[in-house]
Chains A and B, each alone.
Chain A
Amino acid sequence: MAAINREDVAHLAQLAHIEMSDDELDRMANELAVIVDSVKSVSEAAGDDIPATSHPIPLTNVMREDVVGHVLTAEEALSGAPDAQDGRFKVPAILEES
């Protein structure tokens, strides 16, 4: 498995929507390299014949009645929003104006 470098961290931070300073990127790259190195052995632990487990106690087809159930009112849903208008979440511009 490839090691993780500063460029990778910068790309990942962008994907994860976390702005990072140069110092932070350096520090994070060093720390993550150590952590990634320590978890490497995991890829050699199990052979191809071992199935993956995504859930500790598998349940199938957990359904509920197809009726309106427990929902928040619009007011409740908006109560913690940083900005709202006309009963809706108000977001900054989606596209940059050129």
Chain B
Amino acid sequence: MSATDLIRFSAADMAAKLAAGEITSVQLVQAHLDRIAAVDGGDRGVNAFLHVNAEEALAVAADVDARRAAGEELHELAGVPIAVKDLIVTKGQPTTAGSKILEGWMSPYDATVVKKLRAARMPILGKTNLDEFAMGSSTEHSAYGPTRNPWDLDRIPGGSGGGSAAAVAAFEAPLALGTDTGGSIRQPGAVTGTVGVKPTYGAVSRYGAIAMASSLDQIGPVSRTVLDSALLQEVIGGHDPFDSTSLTDPSTGLADAARLGNVAGMKIGIIKELHGEGYQAGVENRFNESLELLRGAGAEIIEVSCPNFGYALGAYYLIMPSEASSNLAKFDGVRFGLRTLPTEGPLTIERVMGATRAAGFGDEVKRRIILGTYALSAGYYDAYYGSAQKVRTLIQRDFAAAFAQVDVLISPTAPTTAFKLGEKLNDPLAMYLNDVATIPANMAGVPGLTLPGGLADEDGLPVGIQLLAPAREDARLYRVGAVLESLLEAQWGGPILDQAPPLAESVVEPVETAAKEAK
């Protein structure tokens, strides 16, 4: 079996082949390291990885192979490699959050999700690129250069988790971890033709995810198939005493739901406010086709209205920056990361802090900190932050009313396909509109999944279909998502990524030198 074949399998198939002894984990990890070395670097590389963890990943793989050979019972995904968004802290690898302020910073502890990956013996390939502190929808706000969309290297891979989505789409990793505050897992999934899930708020521990907006942030899986995301959420989910917002529900039944294979009799709601005007024609067409497929599979399609979703974007851009401005106060040039001294005048801590944050933060981060400081300031608090929190109640009520009528909701994940790098960089408001369909889920804490729905007629780029379920009903997303995926793939004659143009591979140097030095 060639390395090219190996990297194109789903994580579930890789796991099965490992268990059957057809391949080794070392082969699998090496194939991915070679792929990273071939397509990720250089001027026209994908730039999905900020750090490649070759040595440790190969050591974990060799350990898995030895244990398996000795007959030890291992986790289903043991030996299947994974990439981790660089917002999630890892021992032994730098964590930058895509910011200059944390350049080279080594976390003294592992995030809970990383501990769980290690316990399952999943080799960690490295850390993936993101908009600085996960603030953005294009990965262009990374201090380490943008990630490129594997479908068209001149286009954005979405954001903030563009690195994780692009890594999976470019077959540099079968699985990745993302974080989703307003769509940072789902929107990159949509524009790269991959799958991503924002679990129910609290279903996966946030301990060790560098906080942007604590009441909205959620870690979740990124993959190429619905089943693979289900398997990964089962690994990373469950209660964690280190996160006081963590739910006590067990993280089980998700893969079973994905394998169920029927939606007959299920009620699926189209959200009136989340399609039509403002959505690209090709997005709308693919969305309508998915509805027809689900109807053909015996689901009942009903239109529902969520009238307050129109306020969600505005409320989000008050709550998120408010929480972010507070969370980012800890980057003060004292405890970790950068310290920059002012060029003139006395060296007081206040002036050092001002110079450090000026040098360490990028424009979008500064914008959001200032906006949040404004929304929380005396005299404006009630009108801004207070009102936004009330809108949150209205959005939750809209969801409750909708879920009284239907089992899951469906919408396009993003209003457009991937746009060109640079196209919206100087227009913050246009950038914010990318998340219009994904934000309501974060505001209400409900789970959401995106899966590829085909390619838009006008540009041949991937379109995402979003499914939403009531809080704690993540399994429904996997059940419906897997059925829709199989119906769509039957039409396409295979996975959507088979239609992506091949990436030019640079000459692969021997990996011992190439991958280790990759970044």
Give me the interface of A with B, judged by CB distance under 8 Å. 1, 4, 8-9, 12-20, 24, 28, 31-32, 34-36, 38-43, 45-46, 50-57, 59, 62, 64, 70, 72, 76-77, 79-83, 89, 91-97
Contacts and interface: CB of A to CB of B under 8 A. Distances in A.
B108 A38 contact: no
A92 B428 contact: no
A32 B314 contact: no
Given A39-B388, A81-B336, 20 more contacts: A9-B370, A16-B357, A17-B329, A17-B357, A18-B358, A18-B361, A19-B357, A19-B358, A32-B370, A38-B317, A39-B384, A41-B314, A45-B387, A57-B202, A80-B105, A81-B334, A82-B334, A89-B334, A89-B335, A95-B348
A23 B432 CA distance: 23
Contacts of A80: 105-108, 335-337
Contacts of A62: 244-245
A42 B393 contact: no
A73 to B, nearest CB: 8
A52 B381 CA distance: 13
A34 B369 CA distance: 16
Contact of B377 (A12, A94, A97): A12
A50 B333 contact: no
A41 B347 CA distance: 43
B371 A15 contact: no
30 contacts: A14-B354, A16-B325, A16-B370, A17-B329, A18-B357, A19-B351, A19-B354, A19-B357, A28-B367, A32-B371, A32-B374, A34-B429, A39-B317, A39-B388, A42-B388, A43-B383, A46-B387, A46-B393, A57-B201, A57-B247, A59-B247, A72-B109, A82-B333, A82-B334, A83-B339, A91-B334, A92-B347, A92-B348, A96-B346, A97-B346
B393 A70 contact: no
A34 B314 CA distance: 12
Interface residues of B, number: 75
Contacts of A81: 334-336
Contacts of B389: 52-54
B350 A50 contact: no
A31 B342 contact: no
A32 B389 CA distance: 21
A56 B393 contact: no
A9 B105 CA distance: 30
A48 to B, nearest CB: 9
B129 interface: no
Nearest to B397: A50
Contacts of A76: 108-109
B400 to A, nearest CB: 12
Main secondary structure of the interface of A (DSSP, over half): loop
Closest 6 CB pairs of A and B: A56-B445, A46-B390, A82-B339, A52-B389, A80-B336, A76-B108
Contacts of A31: 367, 428
Contacts of A55: 215, 245
A93 B108 contact: no
Interface of B: 105-109, 200-202, 215-216, 241-242, 244-245, 247, 308, 311, 314-315, 317-318, 325, 329, 332-339, 342, 346-355, 357-358, 361, 366-367, 369-371, 373-374, 377, 380, 383-384, 386-394, 396, 428-429, 432, 442-446, 471
A4 B355 CA distance: 24
Contact of B352 (A1, A36, A92): A92
Nearest to A40: B314
B241 A64 contact: yes
Contact of B393 (A9, A12, A51): A51
A50 B315 CA distance: 15
A56 B443 contact: yes
Contact of A8 (B200, B215, B216, B374): B374
Nearest to A72: B108
Given A17-B332, A46-B391, A62-B244, A56 B353 contact: no
A72 B336 CA distance: 14
A70 B243 CA distance: 12
A97 B358 CA distance: 24
A89 B349 CA distance: 12
A38 B245 contact: no
A56 B217 CA distance: 11
B342 A19 contact: yes
Contacts of A28: 366-367, 370
Contacts of A14: 354
A70 B207 CA distance: 12
B471 A57 contact: yes
Given A17-B353, A81-B336, A92-B348, A45 B394 contact: yes
B357 A32 contact: no
Contacts of A79: 106, 108
Nearest to A44: B387
